[in-house]
């Protein structure tokens, strides 16, 4: 039976740790880390995500601000706000909630955020996630790596299979696994014999957005399974990319959906903000 990797509990422990760090930062450097989130429009899912980010940022004691802009905001107006925040030395992290309205060029907005304040990790994704140079990794891929490490198992030398080649999770998490000295395979919609490949993997990160594409018969006994997928099954029930009921008895470790990767993603956003802050004050 696989052990459950409880992302919610792990995130709660991280928040406690980061709250203590923030208190020490204020004493040592004279200010707390600052995170500003910009949301344009009224997309309901985005509103929920932003509220969750705001709550958790305040939970650890960040100076947190949410700038809410109307749907009709022009690209120039949004870029002007980003430029102002780039120049504000009390702001360590800037996050523009996606999606933005269709009349705004998403890539231009992402490019406008100062690389050393890009807590979403878009710039870091292109530069190889070198925190040494002031850039952080994207939140969800970083969350995946952290969850694997909580098992106590080593990543180095293991065969890791990433199912999904998306720009936001698949490709960056593959790079992070390589940075940890794993041997990495990326599978996708055109991959043949996915089951055969999966059965050789010590670690599977499923991030393709297809309900239950990884079944128990495709899992190597004792493997670590990280499920990034958020889907609805044939009964309308929330499920991941991994068929939990059949995979859990075979796996060594497995994340549930919900309660696995999701809670950790926002925790990694806060962690990224603290890392950017430390680069600014040191």
Report the CATH number at residue 244: 3.40.50.720
Residue 196 domain-assigned? yes
Residues whose CB is less than 8 angstroms from the CB of residue 111 and which lie 6 or more positions away in sequence, other chains included: none
C-beta of residue 239 within 8 angstroms of C-beta of residue 262: no
147 and 250 part of one domain: yes
47 and 158 part of one domain: no
More confident residue, 148 or 236: 148
State the CATH number of the domain containing residue 87.
3.40.50.10860
Q: What percent of the chain has pLDDT over 70?
A: 96
165 and 95 part of one domain: no
Which letter, b or e, does each residue of 70-91 get, where b requires 16 or more Cβ atoms within 10 Å of its Cβ?
Answer: eeebebeebbebbeebeeeeeb
Residue 70 domain-assigned? yes
pTM of the predicted model over 0.85: yes
Q: How far apart are CA 255 and CA 26, in angstroms?
A: 35
254 and 154 part of one domain: yes
In sequence order, what E strands does the chain have? 3-4, 34-40, 63-69, 93-96, 159-163, 183-187, 203-206, 224-227, 231-232, 238-239, 253-254
User: pLDDT tens, 37-77?
Assistant: 999 999 999 999 999 999 999 999 999 999 999 999 999 99
Number of domains in the chain: 2
Residue 270 domain-assigned? no
pLDDT at 30 over 70: yes
Q: What is the pLDDT of residue 134?
A: 61
Q: What is the pLDDT of residue 236?
A: 86
Q: What is the pLDDT of residue 127?
A: 64
Residue 158 domain-assigned? yes
With bands split at pLDDT 50, 70 and 90, how would you rate the model's confidence at 233?
confident
Structural domain span for residue 169: 140-262
pLDDT at 15 over 80: yes
Q: Where is 164: in which H helix or E strand?
A: none
Residue 188 domain-assigned? yes
146 and 110 part of one domain: no
More confident residue, 164 or 189: 164
- As a whole number, mean pLDDT of residues 223-231 equals 96
C-beta of residue 81 within 8 angstroms of C-beta of residue 40: no
Select from 193, 199, 261, 252 the least CA-distant residue to 230: 261
Mean pLDDT, rounded, of the chain: 94
Residues designated as active site = 53, 97, 120
Q: What is the pLDDT of residue 129?
A: 61
167 and 242 part of one domain: yes
Residue 120 domain-assigned? no
164 and 248 part of one domain: yes
User: pLDDT tens, 81-136?
Assistant: 999 999 999 999 999 999 999 999 999 999 999 999 999 998 867 666 655 566 79
Q: What is the pLDDT of residue 125?
A: 72
């Amino acid at each position: 039976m696989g052990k459950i990797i409880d992302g919610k509990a792990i995130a709660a422990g991280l928040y406690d740790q980061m709250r203590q760090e923030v208190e020490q930062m204020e004493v040592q450097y004279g200010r707390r880390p600052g995170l500003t989130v910009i949301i344009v429009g009224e997309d309901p899912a985005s509103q929920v995500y932003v509220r969750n980010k705001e709550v958790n940022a305040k939970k650890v004691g960040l100076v947190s601000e949410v700038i809410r802009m109307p749907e009709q905001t022009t690209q120039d107006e949004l870029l002007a706000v980003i430029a102002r925040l780039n120049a504000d030395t009390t702001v360590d992290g800037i996050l523009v909630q996606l999606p933005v309205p269709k009349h705004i060029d998403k890539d231009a907005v992402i490019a406008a955020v100062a690389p050393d304040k890009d807590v979403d990790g878009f710039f870091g994704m292109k530069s190889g996630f070198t925190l040494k140079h002031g850039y952080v990794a994207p939140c969800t891929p970083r969350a995946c790596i952290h969850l694997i490490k909580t098992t106590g198992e080593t990543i180095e030398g293991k065969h890791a299979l990433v199912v999904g080649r998306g720009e936001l999770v698949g490709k960056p998490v593959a790079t992070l696994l390589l940075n940890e000295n794993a041997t990495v395979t990326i599978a996708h919609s055109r991959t043949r014999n996915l089951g055969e490949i999966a059965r050789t993997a010590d670690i599977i990160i499923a991030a393709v957005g297809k309900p239950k594409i990884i079944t128990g018969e495709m899992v190597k006994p004792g493997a670590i399974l990280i499920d990034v997928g958020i889907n609805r099954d044939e009964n309308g029930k929330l499920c991941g990319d991994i068929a939990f009921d059949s995979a859990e008895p075979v796996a060594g470790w497995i994340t549930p959906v919900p309660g696995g990767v999701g809670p950790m993603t926002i925790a990694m956003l806060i962690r990224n903000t603290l890392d950017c802050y430390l680069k600014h004050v040191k």
